[in-house]
Structure 1
Amino acid sequence: LTIPVGPEARRLRFLFETKSGATPTSGVEEYWDGDINWVTPEDLGKLSDRYVRETRRRITEEGYKNSGVGLAPPGSIVLSKRAPIGQTAILGVPSTCNQGCFLLTKLDGVDERFYYYAMIHLRPALEALGRGSTFMELSADDLRSVPMPFPSEANQHL
C-alpha cells in the first residue's frame, strides 16, 4: 500500500480535528438511554451503508457533560481505533463515541465522502500503525500524522 506524498498530500491533522471518545460511568443510570448517539466499533461493524444514523446505545445530556466525550456534527467521520482498527463511517446525525473510536471533524476544503473512501483505502496502513501487547490500538498521534491525499475540492467530488 502506498501512502501519498508530495504537494497533493497533507497530514490528517491539517484536514480534521481529531477527538477520542469516552464512556460515561456505567453505574449512573442518569447518563444512559438518552437522545445522543454513542458510536462503538460494534456499531460500525453492523452498518449497511456508510452513514451512522442511530446507535445501539445512547447517552443523555448529563452523561455527555460528565464524561468529557466530544460531540461531532453530521458529516464528521468516525473511525475505530481498535477491535478492529480502521472501520469507518460518516455521521448522519450529531454523535459521540466510546474510547474505541476517533471522531474526525472536517476542516475547510474537505469532502467527507472523499475521505470516507480514502480511509477505507488506507485501512491496511492504519492497521499497520497499531500497537499493543493485549490488542492492537491506533494512537491519536499516529493517526494525526498519517499522510492523506489532498486533491482540489473539485477533484474530491469526482
Structure 2
Amino acid sequence: MAGIYRDIGVPCIYPDLMMRLRTSGRYIPEFLEIVLRAPEARRCIAALAQGTSDSMVKISADVINRMEIPDVPISDQQRFVAGLDAVSTLERGLCSGILKIRNVRSGLLGREFSEGVGGGWPLKEIGNLCEVSSGATPSRAAGSRYFSSSGMPWVKTLDLNEGLISATDETLTEAAISELRMRQFPERSVLVAMYGGWEQIGRTAILGVPAAVNQAIAVLQPLGGLNPDYLLLAMQHMRHQWRRFAASTRKDPNVTKSDVLGFRIPVPPYGDQVRIVQLAAASLQDITAAEQQLNGLRKLKEGLTSELISGQRSFVGGLSK
C-alpha cells in the first residue's frame, strides 16, 4: 500500500516496515501514488516480495527502484491526477449519500419498532415462533470428496451479509450431503451467527437459495404468522440484546441454541409486518442504486489507471532513473 504524507505541521515518524520515496522533478507525488496503488503495480510488487509466511513477506528498496513507471510528461500527470480527483470527489459524495440513506432507514425502522412495542406489540420468544436448527462442518481432510466448486451452497458465518444470500464461498458435494446427513434448508430461512465474538454474534442473512450451514449458525424457520423478511429485520433491530446472552470461558463470547430459543422479538399483526418490510425495501432500493453508481465510478478509476499502466504510454526503466 502506498500513500502521501501531507504536511500538517507535525513531523512524520515512520517505522522500519515502511519506505520513504522522494520524487525527482520527473514525477509529481500524486501521480506516483496513483501508479503504486494500482492493482497491476501491487501484483508486481507482491510477485517480487520475499519471505516464508504472510507475516514476514517483505520487499526491498531495490524492488521499488527497479519498478517500471509510465513515462508521462508532468503536464499529463497533472491532468490525470485532476481527472481522478474529480472522480474521487463524486465517489466521496456517493459514499456520504449512502451513509445518510442508511441512517435514515435505520431511524425509520427504529421508530417503527419503538412505537410498536410502546403501542402494545407483544415480545415473543423465537422458540415459540420458529423451528430452530443448526448445521455442521465436514472434515477438511476429505478435500474434494466433500468440497467442490459447484455443489450445494454451504453457509459460514462470514457469508452472512445482513441481506439475501444467493451464493456462498464454498459448496458441498453429494458425498458430503449423504455421508454426513447435511440438512438442506429452504429459501427464506433466516440465519443468525452464534459464534465468533462480538463482531459476529447476531449477524444475519436470509437464504435466497436452498443451502446447508455450519455449526456456528442458527437457522430460523417461521412456523406461521411470521413474515421471514420481517423476522430478519426484527433480528437486526434487536441485535444489541445478544450481549445479555453471550458468554464464554474462551477469548471470544458465543451464544447457544437455548439462547436463540429464548431470544425475544416484537411481533405485530401480519399486516404491520408487511408494511415494515415494504418500508425497508423502498429505502434499500435507493441504497442499491447508489451502490451501483459507486461501483461504476470505482471501475472507471481502475480502468483509467490500468489503461495508463498496461501499455497505453511508454515506460521508463525504474524509479531510480
Residue by residue over 1:50-96, the C-alpha shift from the partner in whole angstroms, topping out at 9 and shown as x without a partner, is: 10111100112221233344321000001111121010011000011
Structure 1 letter corresponding to 2:248: G
Q: In the comparison of the two structures, how many residue pairs are matched?
A: 153
When you count strand as a share of all residues, which structure comes out higher?
Answer: 1
Whether the aligned pair in 2 keeps the contact of 1:129 and 1:142 (CA below 8 Å) is yes
Q: Which residue does the alignment assign to 1:16?
A: 130
Instruction: Give the deviation of 1:7 after TM superposition.
Output: 6.7
Q: Which residue of 2 aligns with 1:64?
A: 177
Q: Which has the larger radius of gyration?
A: 2
Q: Confirm whether residue 102 of structure 1 aligns to residue 218 of structure 2.
A: yes
Q: What runs of 5+ residues in structure 1 fail to find an aligned partner? A: none
SS of the equivalent of 1:27 reads helix
TM-score normalized with structure 1 length? 0.87
Q: Which amino acid aligns with 2:256?
A: S
Report the equivalent of 1:89. Answer: 205
Match of 1:76 in 2: 189
Code of the aligned partner of 1:99: Q
Among all aligned residue pairs of Structure 1 and Structure 2, give the percentage whose two residues are the same amino acid: 26
1:26 aligns with one of 134, 140, 147 = 140
Q: Which residue of 1 aligns with 2:156?
A: 40
**TM-score between both structures, scaled by the size of structure 2:** 0.45
Structure-2 separation of matches of 1:66 and 1:131:
33
What's 2:235 paired with? 119
C-alpha distance in 2 between matches for 1:40 and 1:121:
22
**1:52 maps to which of 165, 169, 182:** 165
Pairwise CA RMSD = 2.0
Q: Distance in 1 between matches of 2:218 and 2:209?
A: 16
Unmatched tracts of structure 2, length 5 or more: 1-113, 276-321
Distance 2:269 2:125 in 1: 15
Deviation at 1:144, TM superposition (A): 0.2
Alignment match, 2:257: 140
- Stretches (4+) displaced over 6 A: 4-7
Is this contact kept in 2: 1:71–1:95, CA < 8 A? yes
Higher relative contact order (CA 8 A, sep 6+): 1
- 2:203 is paired with a residue whose SS is strand
Amino acid at match of 2:153: N
Structure with greater helix share of residues: 2
Q: Please tell me the residue identity of whatever aligns with 1:70.
A: R
